[in-house]
Structure 1
Amino acid sequence: MGIASRIVTATDAEDVVQEAWLRWNSTDRTIVRSTPAFLSRTTARLSITMTRTAYARYQTAAGLQPGDAVRAATDPAELVENAEQLLTAMAVLVTRLDKREQVAFILREAFDLPYRNIGELLGLSEPNARQLIRRARVRLVDGRGRQAPPVERFRLFAAFLDAAHQGDLAPLAELARKN
């Protein structure tokens, strides 16, 4: 449990330990030189695999992927569907990230801005911007969130749409400075 809980969440750690135990039970023990080494390595590898597959599930579950080309929708139903997907993505950002992380993540992933430019917009150095975005990615994968009022999601959504349509990223960056 100790190895698994250092790599995955507590509930996932229990699943990993159960899977490791099942593998141990189905293993020919005559070829195992060290039982603790076998169980430790199996647990660590299963934990890492679970983390990777959780990240892959997260990437495909959101519907909109960073770097996906947004094509112009002409069908009203498609416009509504795209807006709903964007609102869902904004809800995930608002519940899992603080405002600076939200804006930095959007600037990097949606607008493909270099870290230097993100740092300038947010009043950070390039290494700090890089660290902020790395921390945002980790928190998105982590899955823990907080309750956030719907107005925060719509405020971020509106700023994102304005930045996408007008090309002015300053109002979006201003969101990071507001309390």
Structure 2
Amino acid sequence: MGTPPADPATETFVAHRNLLFTVAYEMLGSAADAEDVLQETWLRWAKVDLTQVSDQRAYLVRITTRLALNRLRTVRRRKEAYVGSWLPEPLLTAPDVADDVELAENVSMALMLVLETLAPTERAVFVLHEVFDVSYDEIAAALDKTPSAVRQIAYRARRHVDARRPRQVVPASLTRAVLDSLRHAVEIGDLQGILHVLAPDVVLVADGGGIKQAALRPVIGADKVARMVVTGIGKVDSILTAEPTVVNGNPSLVLRLDGRLDGVLAVRVENALITGLYYVRNPEKLTRVETATPLTVR
């Protein structure tokens, strides 16, 4: 006997699941929270009379957006009590995400951190319009606002993000080349080699979540960052390996100490130098770096 066909509600939800997850993750920066939002979305979707829904994709995005926005307001309070710096949860992503330059930029650690500086509604509007190309009318319906109000919010959010986002889109090949130089220097503890690929005003943000040791505040300046990398990442009497990978659509490194996963290192590159280092050590955020998470804007 074959598998019985899924009901229409299930088929539609499964067809758009990757999109809904990406929407929730972009808004929340947490895969765990995004999965919770998807579960709530499904519970609400299962009760909908599909004969009354003209655009099922838009309807699902609307449910997900509202639930993610509610959760975003809650997790912002949680982040205020977070120990040390907070970084988005890194996701191992498939090659097709890296091939989509626009998507790779939008889910990069650097831009995700910029989105953290937006107010919840501004973030929702920016993500929906700029990342997923949702119309102002649809966003207005999702947020219970007028289209004109949404346009004003979008304008403010775009100005805020443009002032803080990387000024240039760097080819993945260049990022990989810079990372390869960093990887070699880190593995052998070469301080000068590390300095060679760092911009003078480079910033290192480390996230240990109070579980793993990490700098509680951003470390600024090439000398300080290089020494922190040598002494804080490389451990005495431990074998450090750095494996090239693709995290959040961008070349990154998975670091292991004596073969055990220690953290994920993502970078921001400008003018062939590293201007931002993002090191996630919190083990609760490292559950999605071994298996690829599918992301999409379609």
Give the TM-score, by structure 1 length: 0.34
Structure in which a larger fraction of residues adopt helix? 1
Structure in which a larger fraction of residues adopt strand? 2
Structure ranking higher on relative contact order (CA contacts 8 Å, 6+ apart): 2
Give the TM-score, by structure 2 length: 0.22
